Structure 1
């Protein structure tokens, strides 16, 4: 391979799943003003990557074809562009890449310094790469629910659905840093894992009580952090909410927005809040510090070499990952 070329994985049109991923050699990108070039050590996949490939984000993402997917990365700075003052060659970092450009499934990528944070030695590349979308989504959902992660504020009863997934496993841990009682749902095989993350009560979603989201202790939820990929009907959620309870819906669909509008128009005390997480430097840095301090951890479902990226993609499509799926160059 030529010195200025790298291995990468890309697709050239919408659809096709794992079979559409192609292994290519492409030029190593050059950092522009305000950007740095990273040699990648780990990339975590997200359901959002799949939605982009399926065409669910068109016409906005991807910006063009062919497209190298992946937005959540960790690596080492190997070159800095003009105007970059916060980072230098050799720095270990975690970065969020733009959804339009992606680039995570390659050996190198350029990232904007405004979405890069330093990664201390105590945080591995694999742990750090899980945070940008999943960790920040969990964090922003909890703050929207009124949880104070410093433990201040009144106790809140929370329900976290899909608690063993990429977002859910972070949400349980972060919630327990606050003054919360956490009920969580997951599949039977992950009940013990979710308990170990701090959940006070765990429901198998395949049981009648789990499907109905009923707390074993009978409590009503002040907030539901809805991490499942599909929309749980309002008729299932509503009876379990406290008087002023709210549902924070991650990755909201058109149905969610319709329900949100109805709740708004009818002045319902029980609220549905659609949430699109916004990766930012401040939140990412906060989460990195929590991992460094041992207060948060990334659960790894599986690790795959870049040469087997289609296996990671297929596992993500399956939708039953426990924690994060990682690709390593």
Structure 2
């Protein structure tokens, strides 16, 4: 695997004293805590890319991917230690959402040809900051961080990633990079659905009844723990062999959809305040009737037709059809039984991850890692994800964990502090 290093014009370990470091005269290090001169940064890195949409065969390993650069004052360059896969990565590998995502990547793509390839997949990361833009105030080189990457940006199946500081958060201290990489995407997705759309929060969730369909995957296992930390009553649907996992995470009631009609079992229970649907399809037909009528109850689905419609119908027609579909369902449900029908989408947010980090360090949220793969086996990790029936997350170990970046940053910070005039 190609290796990228940030090198100063002297060997810090052999320098022997602050005076020697000062005489070496690396002004860039004094100014930014770590040497980031473009001439000293290798131009290529290892990554898994795709050059076309398709099945697993389109995944290609390269050691010649360009190292991302800091182009804006608010950006940070992160060395990736671990990444994890999500169902979205499978979908994006096949071209899901390309119409809207390419528009976000290049607003002129609707009138000009645009080539998004080579494309790096992967939405989750845990790693170490190695460089910062001049306007970054929340992070410094050496900080251990985690993040969820917007789907229109190059992903985390690479040695380095560039993000804005607002998309990044300090990694919880109580977990390692492998564990941390399993959380950001599902956390941001669940918070978007439950908080931004579902209206739940720490103060409002006590004794609220929440149903989560398809709860044994990443979003479901995170949501169970979050809602229990907030005092909600949580019912979930899953297969029988996942029952031990979800009960261990705090689920109050478990409905095995393989042991009969799940709808019939749920109809015998008390109605719900919020439903989080991870399944879609015909689930809506029976699940909407499980909400408390005329109470402001909310049905929130993470399975919307928006991106599929724009891919198959084009940007304008697809957006219109999806919007018309949402409008009709929302009006129909508010008129017939007084419940709200809403779509939710994954929204990367560093500030939200700050709050999740506190819950992880407090032991309220546990990482749920089902499988771990080395960086050389990314295709095998995708195959594992394709088999479905996830019991948590599939994580990729991109690089070995070490303290060299932290030590370098701390050493050069001491140089900077010592070199400041009294």
User: Do both share a fold (TM > 0.5)?
Assistant: yes
Deviation at 1:128, TM superposition (A): 2.3
CA RMSD of aligned residues (A): 2.2
Aligned-partner Cα distance in 2 for 1:317–1:227: 16
What is aligned with 1:56? Answer: 96
Greater share of residues in helix: 2
Aligned-partner Cα distance in 2 for 1:263–1:32: 43
Deviation at 1:138, TM superposition (A): 1.5
Residues 286-325 of structure 1: pairs in structure 2 closer than 5 A: 286-325=355-394
Deviation at 1:182, TM superposition (A): 1.3
Q: Secondary structure at the match of 2:125?
A: strand
Deviation at 1:154, TM superposition (A): 5.7
- The answer to whether structure 1 residue 27 and structure 2 residue 66 are counterparts is yes
Deviation at 1:289, TM superposition (A): 1.2
- The answer to whether structure 1 residue 155 and structure 2 residue 207 are counterparts is yes
Q: Deviations over 1:6-62 (max 9, x none)?
A: 2110000112x2221001012322222222221111111111222222222122335
Q: Is the 8 A contact 1:136 1:279 kept in 2?
A: yes
Bigger shift: residues 186-195 or 311-320: 311-320
Q: Is the 8 A contact 1:36 1:110 kept in 2?
A: yes
- The answer to whether structure 1 residue 218 and structure 2 residue 287 are counterparts is no
What is aligned with 2:141? Answer: 89
Residues 245-324 of structure 1: pairs in structure 2 closer than 5 A: 245-253=297-305, 260-266=326-332, 267-268=335-336, 269-324=338-393
Aligned-partner Cα distance in 2 for 1:314–1:7: 21
Aligned-partner Cα distance in 2 for 1:262–1:88: 49
Q: Deviations over 1:133-188 (max 9, x none)?
A: 211221232223343324x5662211111111010001111111233221111111
Match among 68, 77, 81 for residue 37 of structure 1: 77
Aligned-partner Cα distance in 2 for 1:153–1:24: 47
Aligned-partner Cα distance in 1 for 2:236–2:71: 44
Q: Secondary structure at the match of 2:83?
A: strand
Unaligned runs of 5+ in 1: none
What is aligned with 1:8? Answer: 47
Greater share of residues in strand: 1
Q: Secondary structure at the match of 1:139?
A: helix
Aligned-partner Cα distance in 1 for 2:189–2:231: 19
Deviation at 1:121, TM superposition (A): 2.3
Match among 224, 227, 238 for residue 278 of structure 2: 227
Aligned-partner Cα distance in 2 for 1:77–1:234: 43
Q: Secondary structure at the match of 2:384?
A: helix
Deviation at 1:233, TM superposition (A): 3.7
Q: Is the 8 A contact 1:44 1:130 kept in 2?
A: yes
Q: Is the 8 A contact 1:93 1:117 kept in 2?
A: yes
Larger Rg: 2
Q: Deviations over 1:88-118 (max 9, x none)?
A: 1111001222312223001122121121111
Aligned-partner Cα distance in 2 for 1:121–1:69: 26
Indicate how the Cα distance of structure 1 residues 101 and 259 shifts in structure 2: closer, same or farther if over 3 A, else same.
closer
What is aligned with 1:164? Answer: 216
Deviation at 1:257, TM superposition (A): 5.8
Bigger shift: residues 69-78 or 177-186: 177-186
Q: Normalised by the size of structure 1, how large is the TM-score?
A: 0.91
